[in-house]
Amino acid sequence: MKSECFVDQIRKFLEWPYDAVEKGKARMSALFDEQGPDYLPLIFTVEIPELTTFVTFDRKELFYDPDKMACEQLWFAAVHLRSGSDAQPVIRVNTGCGTVPSILGLTQQIFTDAMPWLQEHLTKEEIIRFEIPEDISQLGLMPHTKHVIEFYREHLPGMPIYVSDTQGPMDIAHLIRGDEIFYDPYDDPEFTDHLMNLSVEAYIKVTEYIKSLTGEPHSTGYHQPFYMAKGGVRVCEDTSTLFSPDLIDRFIIPYTKRVCDHFGGAFIHYCGKNDYFLEAILADVPSCKYINLGNPEKHDIVDVIRRIKKAGKVYFGMASRPEGQSLEAYFRTILGALDGERSGLIFQPVLTPEERSEPARIMDLYHKIQDELLD
């Protein structure tokens, strides 16, 4: 009898190399161990021909239908899983960056061809009056999140479910307040502190609630294809890069540090470029254990990786690859940033379609070069 659920039909296309998955997780876990991993983790995807023949859904269908959202998430997991790399096959409830602000009564617009987006904001007076209740399970997107997670657990048992897009304290404040957030620190610093405290509280409560539904531990977790052995959350800091150094020190770093500390460590991501912000994270947020750049092409990535490693943290992410550069030269350049040590890096390389067709060769080459360059 044909399954009534789309996601159950997808599963027959997949093979699950559990040994490779567990080895990848062990390598990521060992990055902070004294002995280190046997090899630094490498994460990439491969093509799945079956994807071209399977029914697709628009983003509005994905948002509202747990089965269709499960399909999107499982395909994303599958292109990592089938690669045989160190990537971790994981899924999440993909409700967009307005997930946390939704518990304050803000509603996203849901589009067919783009991710949801929050276009309404609270006034200053509404923010001052708002108090987050102890029980948030019936607020905003929390009931929908629970419904989708229950579907995942029934149809994809054993698949790790990571936390939805919870952004970070300043990003949440920006979503709640709108662009007035760039004036408030000058016009009303006391109110800005109030809003940042509210954002931290909302971030923590939503994250803890979702973790209670998924069973993910408080101080460890996943984000997309990588495992955090030294941190329970991702913190997104896109808006933070738009502030000056004095405002970063005053209104961002203390609140970012609070959420990183609360969950026993964190992975910080941001798009754009702000050298002062990066240095502030490296110097003043010890509980940030991993850093990811949304725009690595804007940075001297070899220098950045070296600085992140020197600070005792891990760079997780991509690095630009010059056109025509061989894969071996590319790997040697990136691994050369580690000063001979097998630590500080979870790499997502830029690969050609031809290279992706030979995943075992990619892994072997990466390991061979590590044996030559790293202790």
pLDDT per residue as tens digits for the range 5-56: 899 888 776 766 667 789 999 999 999 999 999 999 999 999 988 777 888 8
| Mean pLDDT within 157-163 | 93
**Among 11-20, 52-61, 160-169, which is the least confidently predicted range?**
11-20
What's the confidence (pLDDT) of residue 55? Answer: 83
Q: What is the pLDDT of residues 83-138, one digit of tens each?
A: 999 999 999 999 999 999 999 999 999 999 999 999 999 999 999 999 999 999 99
pLDDT higher than threshold 90 for residue 290: yes
Q: What is the pLDDT of residue 1?
A: 34
Q: What is the 3-state secondary structure (H, E, C) of the chain?
A: CCCCCHHHHHHHHCCCCHHHHHHHHHHHHHHHCCCCCCCCCECCCCCCHHHHHCCCCCHHHHHHCHHHHHHHHHHHHHHHHCCCCCCCCCEECCCCCCCCHHHHCCCEECCCCCCCEECCCCCHHHHHHCCCCCCCCCCCCHHHHHHHHHHHHHHCCCCCEECCCCCCHHHHHHHHHHHHHHCHHHHCHHHHHHHHHHHHHHHHHHHHHHHHHHCCCCCCEEECCEEECCCCEEEECCHHHHCCHHHHHHHHHHHHHHHHHHCCCEEEEECCCCHHHHHHHHHHCCCEEEEEECCHHHCCHHHHHHHHHHCCCEEEECCCCCCCCCHHHHHHHHHHHHCCCCCCEEECCCCCHHHHCCHHHHHHHHHHHHHHHCC
pLDDT score, position 8:
87
pLDDT score at 53: 80
Task: Say what the pLDDT of residue 305 is.
Answer: 98
Mean pLDDT confidence for 179-196 = 98
Tell me whether strands 314-317 and 288-293 are parallel, antiparallel or unpaired.
Answer: parallel
| pLDDT-based confidence at residue 353 (cuts at 50, 70, 90) | very high
Provide the pLDDT for residue 10. 81
Fold classification of 16-373 (topology level): TIM Barrel (3.20.20)
Higher pLDDT, 281 or 47: 281
Q: What pLDDT does 2 receive?
A: 47
- Give phi and psi for 280, each to the nearest 5: -65, -40
pLDDT at position 310? 97
- Give the percent of the chain with pLDDT over 70: 98
Confidence of residue 158 (pLDDT cuts 50, 70, 90): confident
Q: Is the pTM of this model over 0.85?
A: yes
